[in-house]
Amino acid sequence: MTEVLDFDIVVLGSGIAGMSAAIHASKSQNEKVRIAVISKLHAMRSHSIAAEGGISGVLYPGQNDDSYDLHAFDTIKGSDYLADQDAVSILVKNAPKEIRFFEHLGVPWIREENEEIQFRAFGGMSVKRTAFAADKTGFFMLRALYDYLTGIENIKIFHEYYITHLLLSEKRFAGLFGINLATGERVLFKAKACIIATGGYARVFGFTTTSYSSTGDGIAMAYRAGVPLKDMEFIQFHPTALVPSGILITEASRGEGAYLKNVDGERFMKDYAPAKMELAPRDIVSRAIITEINKGKGLIQEGSGMKYVNLDLRHLGKDKINFKLPMIREITIKNLGLDPIEEPIPVRPAAHFTMGGIHTDINGSVMSADSSIPIAGLWAAGECGCVSIHGSNRLGSNSLSQCAVWGRITGIEAARHASQHKGQHPVSPNKLVGNAEKDLDRLIAMDGDESPYSIRERMQNAMEEHMYVFRTAKGMRQALKEILELKRLSKRIGIEDKGKIFNTNMRDAFEISNLLELSEVSIRSAINRKESRGAHAVLEYKERDDREWLKHTIATYSKKGPKLSYIPVKITNWKPKPREY
């Protein structure tokens, strides 16, 4: 039996984008719309909570020679000119409002003597424009959102509901289908509007800064429902992930002045980005680290055998580290017994952020496959959506502003849509539930010999070997071969847990099938893009090729694998130029 729940708006995902969307949807209609926030975790534990360094935004234009235009230019240059420039303009104009909004919810932004909000330097940003709350910015923002949201009428949180299917009917949103993990009961959420805010899919890699839960569920279910995905080949590798766990060591440590050093103690960034040094954009710093390691200039960690370079914070001094980077110190002490006041931190690049995602217009409206018309009643916000403002490489601290800005935009748009469609749902999703129920029945009954977990491990190994910081045409083809083999094997998996209550085995199997789907799209998109741009660095192609490839990849589901097509990049004021730092 499937329980049916009825709302005006369902928000899928409870990170900064999702909770912002719910709040602004409600507030824009005087708390009159009925909203469900659905999370596969406890809502306050979403991966946004792990964001460390800060949120970008020109809070005081004119001060410090900063302007919206400069923020936009930095973002576009950082994107290697693949960002849509009209969308970037929306980001930079709205980000400051969001920083103030979060201040009003209680976030303890670090302040200057004159009580203005303080900024720190970040990679690829010309000036200091990243507001921060020590190195727990995402934590403070998400907790403030949760506490504020729970004080608003007519928003109901569904903790630990795992949604498996997005139901569409004739280019309209119809409903969401999934499981209440605590009871194992199936649920259909009916609503007039839906905002997908489920985050990225960096867990296609094993060595990643992201939470175990960053499995791209919303992107995968949208893709299966026929929604096109955009720019899926672009995966960001954060230069400084702790070895061997992959835990994020924030870019803010370099923003505050930390050095990257090779085995000889040299600040090797002078050879790669002499002007910006450690504060070059992430794609460039990651390539520099791997190049150093490949040259034999890395170090090897005893016990894990992993190769790394050093991130040296010692010269920052105890007080600065304790005040501005306390979590970094806590993490290295608890994980490695290493105090960054006394020793450098072993780091190497790890999968961190997925620039690609659900194809949306600049308002976050999800586009339909065969036309430029949006799907009615469906939005995507945050990392799962590709607006696109990050193009082929995101600048640090632009993601929190993206989540807040498009959380607000999509929330307001969805609420307007819901209030304009009073009364009955235009589409009855009940008929659509049958197939989703069958899918789940089939999955829980699976009794094969293959372990979903070993499939995941093989997928992550293939991605790490062939889709990492440097790619080759041959390697990517090999990765694709492995993924297709794993997709075949995944039809023969066994689910050992047949119980109903908190069955994480079944959830994991579903997540793994989502990751497999997305890794295939990512690899195929990457194989087809015959250039090197931003985070997509292919050894065979030395250069960016604007004549052929200044365009977005669009991938649409078919049974034989994704169909690829291309749409132009929106260029407004900033013509592509060579990218030097």
Partner 1 sequence: MKTSLALAPMYAAMMGVPVLMVLYLLALLFVPAAAHYVFVPLIIIGLLAFGISGMVEVYVKGHAKSPALSMFNHPKKEKGMNISELPGNPAELIVTRLNAGAKEADRQIYALHISRFTSVLDMLCAVKEKGDQTLSFRYSCRMGICGSCAMVINGKPALACETNAMKNLRNGAINVQPMQAHPILKDLVCDLDEFFAKHLSVTPRLYRRDKKGQYEAQEEYPQKQSQIQEFLPYSYCIMCGLCMDACPVVNVNPDFIGPQPLSQAYRYYKDSRDQLNVKRLNEIDTLEGLWGCEYAGACSKVCPKGVDPASAIQLMKKDTMKSNITNEKKG
Q: Which of residues 189-208 bind partner 1 (CB under 8 A)?
A: 206-207
Other CB atoms within 10 A of residue 183 CB? 13
116 in contact with partner 1 (CB under 8 A): yes
How far is CA 338 from each of CA 246, 328, 341, 344, rounded to the nearest angstrom? 15, 11, 9, 8
Interacting span for partner 1 (CB under 8 A) from 79-87, 106-114, 270-278, 391-399: 106-114
Closest distance of CB 165 from partner 1, Å: 23
Query: Which residues on adjacent β-strands are paired with residue 9?
Result: 35, 193
Contact 12, 195 (CB under 8 A): yes
Nearer to partner 1, 302 or 543 (CB): 302
Q: Rule CB under 8 A: is residue 334 a binding residue for partner 1?
A: yes
Burial of 532 (0-12, 13-18, 19+ CB in 10 A): buried
Sole binder of partner 1 in the list 77, 129, 230, 307 (CB under 8 A): 307
Tell me the closest approach of the beta carbon of residue 393 to partner 1, in angstroms.
23
- Quote the least distance from Cβ 470 to partner 1, whole Å: 11
Q: Which is nearer to partner 1, 64 or 565 (CB)?
A: 64
Does residue number 457 form part of the binding site for partner 1 (CB under 8 A)? yes
> Contact, 477 vs 527, CB < 8 A?
yes
Selected binder of partner 1 within 1, 62, 65, 104 (CB under 8 A): 104
| 96/100 Cα distance (integer angstroms) | 7
Residues 6+ apart with CB under 8 A from 457: 206
Tell me 493's DSSP state: B
Residue 505: CB atoms within 10 A of its CB come to: 17
Assigned token pair, 251: 């870019």
Closest CA to 459 of 507, 496, 511: 511
- Considering only residues 67 to 86 of the shown chain, the ones binding partner 1 according to CB under 8 A are none
Considering only residues 235 through 254, tell me which ones interact with partner 1, judged by CB under 8 A.
244-248
Single out the residue of 3, 271, 317, 335 in contact with partner 1 (rule: CB under 8 A): 335
> What one-letter code names the amino acid at 532?
S
Contact code string over 40-59 relative to partner 1, x by CB under 8 A: -xx-xxxx-xx---------
What is the distance between the alpha carbons of residues 391 and 283, in angstroms, rounded to a whole number?
12
CB of 560 to partner 1, least distance (A): 31
Determine if 121 is a binding residue for partner 1 (CB under 8 A): no
Site for partner 1 in 15-34 (CB under 8 A): 27
Q: What are the catalytic residues?
A: 238, 254
Mode of pairing for the β-strands spanning 35-38 and 9-12 = parallel
CA distances from 242 to 125, 309, 421, 471, 546 (A): 24, 10, 50, 22, 35
What size, in residues, is the chain? Answer: 581
Residue 125 tokens, joined: 């940003």
505-534: contacts with partner 1 (CB under 8 A): 505, 508
Tell me the window of 186-194, 256-264, 419-427, 497-505 that interacts with partner 1 (CB under 8 A): 497-505
62/303 with CB nearer partner 1 = 303
* Closer residue to partner 1 in complex, CB, 148/566: 148
Closest approach, Cβ 159 to partner 1, in A, equals 8
Helices (H), 493-545: 504-528
The Cα 62–Cα 65 span in angstroms is 5
Note the helical H segments in 295-344.
318-324, 326-336
- Shortest spacing between CB 40 and partner 1, in angstroms: 9
Residue selected from 86, 103, 439, 545 as contacting partner 1 according to rule CB under 8 A: 103
CB of 383 to partner 1, least distance (A): 15
Kindly state whether residue 330 participates in binding partner 1, applying the rule CB under 8 A: yes
Token readout for 289 is 């680290």
Can you tell me which of 106, 274, 317, 448 binds partner 1, judged by CB under 8 A? 106
- What residue type is 336 in one-letter code? L
Of the residues 69, 93, 148, 169, which one makes contact with partner 1 according to CB under 8 A = 148
259: contact with partner 1 by CB under 8 A: no
Ranges within 458-477 binding partner 1 (CB under 8 A): 460-461, 464-465
Distance between CA atoms of residues 339 and 330, nearest Å = 8
Identify residues 477-496 at the interface with partner 1 (CB under 8 A). Answer: 495-496
Stretch that binds partner 1, among 146-154, 255-263, 358-366, 568-576 (CB under 8 A): 146-154
